[in-house]
Amino acid sequence: MNSLLGLIIQIINLYQFILLLYIIATWLLNFNIINSSNRFVYSIMEAMYRLCEPSLNLVRRYIPNFGTIDISPIIVYLGLWFIKSLLIEYWPR
């Protein structure tokens, strides 16, 4: 059972890493540091968009709008951290 817990924790860690990369990449796109007309950049951004946006949109539905500041990635990241901590603490040994 501990190997299953390790797998779940690693999947959560991987999703947190992809979420951080997605946040940084969207900043770089918005500041025109990287160009989305490049086919490789576009395909990477599309893959990260498809992975991250469902969870971000779920959170965006329930939090108020703060104008141009989007706090949904912070909430998703903290939620994943909380789930990971709960799994580690309450996983049957």
State how far the alpha carbon of 86 is from the alpha carbons of 5, 6, 46, 68, 89, in Å: 11, 13, 31, 32, 5
Q: What is the 3-state secondary structure (H, E, C) of 26-87?
A: HHHHHCCCCCCCCHHHHHHHHHHHHHHHHHHHHHHCCCCCECCECCHHHHHHHHHHHHHHHH
pLDDT tens-place string over residues 6-54: 999 999 999 999 999 999 999 999 999 999 899 999 999 999 999 999 9
- Where in the chain are the domains? 2-90
Which tens digit of pLDDT belongs to each residue from 37-50?
Answer: 999 999 999 999 99
pLDDT band at 93 (very low <50, low <70, confident <90, very high): confident
Structure tokens at 29: 């796109």
